């Protein structure tokens, strides 16, 4: 399976107003791709397009909520209307809740599934026909290490990411059976320093945090660009993610015990935040149009990512 060089690609990036999606759009544009960015946050999209154009890149934006199929279809249609084709579809959009399962309402749980799982399903539904028309291409779905190993206090998000992994496995085999040359990639980041923990709804009484260490969003964007040129089934981002994956394969019970010891206190900061505090579960938040979150001091490099990209390891 051959994929085009990035400089020749038309790329749609969903969930691009901040974090991983924003950094990914900037990197694609810097390497000469034509980029369409989408999110709910119109201010974030506008500032991103301005930033891309200021650096000499090409980008257009369209606002949409991935929980609505018609919005997602409009993103794909708009991309092809503007540039004549679609080469790579990158789906980053997600939301979450940090709370004990007993405190999550049915509406809240469903909303996380609608955005974080069904949004990705809708993305594949609308992107595939255009990719098939092009005769080749890549669908790159941002999953999580929570698609391999669920965490306490994040039952809706972990459910969505586990569902995404099952969906992509089924879809990948169907495309292989049909001999369709479209690469389907699951990117599985470890804990990434994005504004995600500012965005999520929390019922912990404090601002939540991931279990450190953190990795830079740039690492995830680099993995996305790598898989846009090199067909890849799964790409784990972060040394700790690969260690967790190995531990989960060897002994899920051991990981249960470890997470019981550190998974509750380790996901809380000391900064107060109520369940009524600003969050993006049902509506976009003002601000937070940046790439990085609040945990730069906990961010470390990843040696294994460098090895995978430079030696084309699987």
pLDDT digits (tens, 9 = 90+) for 282-306: 999 887 789 999 999 999 999 999 9
Backbone angles phi, psi at 115, to 5 degrees: -80, -50
Average pLDDT estimate for 145-161: 98
pLDDT at 149: 98
Q: Angle 70-35-19 (CA atoms, 0-180°, nearest 5)? A: 80
pLDDT digits (tens, 9 = 90+) for 158-185: 999 999 999 999 999 999 999 999 999 9
Average pLDDT estimate for 18-40: 98
Domains, in order of start, for the chain:
6-311 (3.40.50.720)
Given a cut of 80, is residue 30 above it in pLDDT? yes
pLDDT digits (tens, 9 = 90+) for 107-132: 999 999 999 999 999 999 999 999 99
pLDDT at 313: 77
Given a cut of 80, is residue 253 above it in pLDDT? yes
pLDDT at 153: 98
Average pLDDT estimate for 45-57: 96
Whole-prediction pTM value? 0.97
Q: Over pLDDT 90: what percentage of the chain?
A: 96
Residue 17: pLDDT band with limits 50, 70, 90: very high
How many residues in the chain? 314
pLDDT digits (tens, 9 = 90+) for 236-247: 999 999 999 999
pLDDT digits (tens, 9 = 90+) for 89-110: 999 999 999 999 999 999 999 9
Catalytic residue list: 157
pLDDT at 286: 80
Given a cut of 90, is residue 275 above it in pLDDT? yes
pLDDT digits (tens, 9 = 90+) for 186-238: 999 999 999 999 999 999 999 999 999 999 999 999 999 999 999 999 999 99
pLDDT at 289: 87
């Amino acid at each position: 399976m051959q994929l085009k060089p990035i400089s020749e690609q038309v790329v749609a990036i969903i969930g691009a107003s901040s974090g991983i999606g924003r950094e990914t759009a900037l990197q694609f544009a810097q390497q000469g791709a034509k980029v369409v960015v989408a999110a709910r946050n119109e201010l974030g999209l506008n500032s991103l397009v301005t930033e891309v154009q200021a650096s000499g890149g090409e980008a257009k934006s369209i606002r949409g909520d991935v929980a609505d199929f018609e919005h997602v279809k409009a993103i794909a249609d708009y991309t092809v209307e503007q540039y004549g084709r679609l080469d790579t579809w990158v789906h980053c959009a997600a939301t979450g809740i940090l709370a004990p399962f007993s405190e999550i309402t049915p509406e809240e749980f469903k909303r996380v599934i609608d955005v974080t799982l069904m949004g990705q399903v809708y993305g594949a539904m609308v992107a595939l026909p255009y990719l098939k028309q092009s005769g080749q291409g890549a669908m790159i779905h941002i999953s999580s290490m929570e698609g391999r190993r669920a965490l306490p206090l994040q039952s809706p998000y972990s459910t969505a990411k586990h569902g995404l992994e099952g969906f992509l496995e089924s879809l990948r085999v169907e495309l292989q059976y049909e001999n369709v040359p479209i690469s389907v990639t699951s990117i599985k980041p470890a804990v990434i320093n994005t504004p995600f923990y500012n965005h999520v709804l929390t019922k912990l009484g404090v601002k939540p945090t991931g279990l450190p260490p953190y990795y830079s969003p740039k690492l995830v964007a680099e993995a996305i660009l790598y898989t846009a040129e090199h067909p890849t089934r799964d790409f784990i981002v972060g040394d700790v993610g690969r260690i967790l994956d190995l531990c989960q394969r060897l002994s899920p019970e051991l990981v249960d015990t470890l997470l019981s010891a550190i998974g509750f206190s380790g996901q809380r900061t000391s900064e107060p935040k109520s369940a009524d505090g600003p969050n993006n579960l049902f509506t976009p938040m003002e601000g937070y149009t940046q790439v990085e979150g609040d945990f730069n001091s906990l961010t470390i490099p990843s040696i294994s990512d460098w090895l995978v990209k430079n030696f084309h390891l699987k």
